[in-house]
Structure formats: structure tokens, C-alpha cells
Amino acid sequence: MFDQRGVMSHNQNMFALVGNFGFAPGPKGLSVYRYDPGTAAMQLIETAFEAVNVGHLSVDQERGVVYAVDECPNQRGQTGGGGYLLALKIDPHSGQLSLLNQQPTLSQEPCYTCLDRTRRYILVSHHADFGFVTQVVKGESGYSTQVFFDDTALVLFPIHADGSLGQACDVCLTPGDGAAGAHPWARHHSVVADPTSELFIVCDKGLEQFHTYHLDRENGKLLPLQDTLVEPGLIPRYGTFHPALSLFYANYERAALIHVYRYDIPSGRLDQVSSAPLMLSDSPAELASAEAALPLTHPKTLAERMQMLQEKAPVGPDKAEPADILIHPNGKSLYASVRGTNTISVLDVDSAGMLSLRDVIDCGGVNPRGLSISPDGRFLFAANMGSGNIATFSIGADGALCATGAGVKASSPGNLRIIAV
């Protein structure tokens, strides 16, 4: 357990948990490393549950329990039926994992978990599959076909006192029958909670919306609030909340930018108030403005580094494919991984919560997916799935990142969490 400064209590061990994710056959599973909080060095203990395609992790520091989704389309022994949510106990001395229990998530490819602050519930969102079913229908005027896509769901699970999972107690369903419009398959790619855990926001890639919910903890029910449309073609992916202000930051798979939304907890309303780029355009005026306005953390200017990075991975802003996004616990810096350019964008957060691009650095590998910050706020970790490594960066007082060289090899890392037990 950590205090308010992120300092580990005495007589506790720290472990880094890496969820390995991949589309190809091969070892996946959950890797456990012994973690040194002073240097951020990691030493592999084991990779367990290698058949599990770990799409996302949540940790319960108090119970020493890890929750992981098996992001797969098929239940055991059958075609289709969806994936699983696993509850795993970590041994406080050895770091080895044991299965408490697991529950089917009732929808295909569960991809994100959100642990309620009371630790009584956990929410799971689903990506769903790209497949479809064509049925032949006979009507009064003859035969026709009808196409059905996968339903997707936000599923609520109760958590027992020992950290094990109960059966799903509520489901908010988005039907995949094609009636939704241009994107017939809704893909709930993530679900996150505000700092009070009173408002939950789902990023829906398929319908290109944000869905907001309350949680009725007494009755174990999700209460839908509002749906907020985004500009067509952006495809919302992940979001994060400011630790002190009523602001929600969202990234998009088809746009190298972040939108800032002001949120209202009682109504669930989201209002866009600002935006910021994750990379620079080729405009000479914009590059010159960036050089003059932005603080730099490397010898070369930001514009020169962007040119080198774009030469290494020449993609435009619409092909950048941002992945993860998170804000520093002090609320002064925000970080975003960008897969198409193999970079991490560093943004300053001002006192009003607005963003400005500070820096763009190499991610230390290929295809950066998940990002994580150490509990003490001193280090940032990038899970580079394409190159199979965890890259480690020190975080300066101004939020700047500097590669430490202390990273480690991993199978196909998609996300990372640190736990003290």
C-alpha cells in the first residue's frame, strides 16, 4: 500500500505486472517482474497463464488481487460466446500468481477493465469482433437477407470480500443489428471513472460516441445518462480524467489530437472546450511557432526531431494511430503513445487544465500500446508490443521524459501495472 506521496509502506514487496497481448499464436499471458522503486529496474519472475490474451489489467492494492481480461472471441470449447474476466491473487513474497476464479464476460473480446473505488464492483467493456452473420429471411414479398453484427456490452461484476468475482449483475447492451447507422458494430473500447468514481465514461469506436453512466452500488445497476457524438471518422479510443478539475481528455485512433471535455457528474453531460495536437504538421509557420513557444528537452529542436521521426515512420496525422493516454498524478503533464510514428507525445497541462504540446520522443521500441506511471510519479513505462519490450523513462520536475535504459524484454506487452503487497 502507498501513502499520498506514492511511497511504499514498510515490509512490502513491489511487482510490475505486464499483460501480453497478441493476434498471432504464441505465448501471451501475464508476466510478473520484481520491481525496484529506486531505479525502476525489473527482474522477471514468471509468465503465467500463457494462453490468456491479456487485453487490460486492474489491480486491487489492498487485497493483492489482479483483474485481467482474456480478450478473445470464443468461450472454452466452442466458437463464439465471448471472453473472460480473471481474478488472480499475487503472493506477497514470491510474486507468483494463482487463480481465484473467472467469469465469462458475455460479449466478444473484452478489452478494458475499470475497478470501482469501493472495490465492490468492476466494469468490463468489449471491443467485439469484426465478423457478421448473414441470414436468409422469407417475407410476404419473397426471400431476402439480413445481416447481424456482434452485440457489444458494458458488463458489471460484483466483487466478493476475498477479491473473487461474482456472476455478472448488470449489462448495458448495444445491439449489433445494423440499426445504428454507418458503423453497425459498436465497439466499447474503454471505460474509465472520474476521480470520485461517480461518473463512468465509455469510448465507443463503432458508434463514435461517448456514453456516460452512474453506478447504483446498492442495487448493482448501471444507470445510463447521456451519449455524446464526436466528429465522424475520429474514432474515440481512450480517455483520462484530470485529478482535480472536472475535465476529461480523449484521444482518437484516426486523428493525432486530444480533445478536452468539461463534464458534469449529475447529468453525465460532456462539453468540448479545447483540443491539442499530438504531432506537428509540415507547415513551416506551425513548426516555427512550436520552436519559439515550446520548452525543449533534447539538444535538437522539436521541429527537427519531428522531421527525423517522421522520416523514420512517414505517416500523416490521420494515420498516426494514437494508442494510450494518461495524465500525471500531479495534473501538470499528459502523455500519449502514438503507434504509427513509434513516439510518445508529452503535453503540458496549465492551471486551467488546457493542453499544449511540449515534446515528441521516440518510444524506445515499436508499436507503443499501454503507458503507465510509477506510484511515486518518477517513471513512465511504455509497453512496446511490436518490439517486445518495456521502455522506461524518468520524469523530470517539468514533466519531461528521458530514457533510462532500464527497460526489459517482454513477450508482446500491451499494458503494465505496479502493485505493492
> 301 or 214: whose pLDDT is higher?
214
Letter string b/e over residues 13-26, b meaning 16 or more CB atoms within 10 A of that residue's CB: bbbbbbbbbbeeee
CA dist 111 and 128 (Å) reads 9
Res 150 pLDDT > 80? no
Distance in angstroms (rounded) separating the CA atoms of residues 336 and 368: 10
Query: Is the C-alpha dihedral spanning 165, 76, 125, 152 positive or negative?
Result: negative
Q: Residue 373 to residues 152, 284, 370, 377, 419: CA-CA distances in angstroms?
A: 30, 34, 10, 6, 12
Rounded to the nearest integer, the mean pLDDT of the chain is 86
User: Residue range 212-238: average pLDDT?
Assistant: 95
Residue 25 has pLDDT above 80, yes or no: no
**SS3 assignment, position 285:** helix
Q: How do residues 395-414 score in pLDDT, each as one tens digit? A: 999 999 999 988 899 989 99
Task: Answer yes or no: is pLDDT of 185 > 60.
Answer: no
Comparing 309 with 230, the larger pLDDT belongs to: 230
What order do you get walking across the sheet with 110-115 strand by strand? 110-115, 121-126, 152-158, 170-174
User: Please, what is the Cα angle at 263 between 204 and 224, to 5 degrees?
Assistant: 50
Against a cut of 0.85, is the pTM above it? yes
Closest CA to 71 of 420, 338, 392, 385: 385
HSE-up of residue 419 (Cα within 13 Å, Cβ side): 28
For residue 4, the model assigns a pLDDT of: 47
The yes-or-no verdict on residue 26 having pLDDT over 90 is no
Query: For residue 284, what pLDDT band results from cuts at 50, 70 and 90?
Result: very low
The separation between CA 285 and the C-alpha centre of its own chain, rounded to angstroms, equals: 34
Residue 40: C-alpha distances to residues 36, 253, 389, 402 (Å): 5, 30, 14, 13
Mapped onto helix, strand or coil, the DSSP state of residue 417 is strand
Q: Determine the pLDDT at residue 383.
A: 96
The pLDDT of residue 151 is 77
Contact 255, 325 (CB under 8 A): no
Q: What is the pLDDT of residues 238-282, one digit of tens each?
A: 999 999 999 999 999 888 999 999 999 999 999 999 999 998 654
Q: Does 187 have pLDDT greater than 60? A: yes
Q: Which residue has the cell 466528429?
A: 231
pLDDT digits (tens, 9 = 90+) for 340-351: 889 999 999 999
Q: Answer whether residue 24 shows pLDDT above 70.
A: no
Q: Which grid cell is 239?
A: 480517455
Q: What is the mean pLDDT of residues 34-52?
A: 95
Q: Which three cell numbers stand for residue 375?
A: 506510484
* Neighbouring residues of 111: CB distance < 8 A, sequence distance ≥ 6: 55, 56, 69, 71, 125, 126, 127, 188, 189, 190
146: confidence class by pLDDT, cuts 50, 70, 90: confident
Reply yes or no on whether the pLDDT at 312 is more than 50. no
Question: Shortest CA distance to 205 belongs to which of 115, 105, 116, 321?
Answer: 321
pLDDT above 90 as % of the chain = 67
Q: Is the pLDDT of residue 23 over 70?
A: no
Predicted pLDDT of residue 296? 41
Cβ atoms of 199 and 210 closer than 8 Å: no
- pLDDT confidence band for 329 (50 / 70 / 90): very high
Domains of the chain with CATH codes: 14-420 (2.130.10.10)
Worst-scoring range by mean pLDDT, 67-71, 133-137, 256-260, 262-266?
A: 133-137
Average pLDDT over residues 206-228: 95
| 130 pLDDT higher than 80 | no
Exposed/middle/buried for 12, CB within 10 Å: 0-12, 13-18, 19+? middle
> What is the H or E stretch that residue 384 is in?
strand 379-384
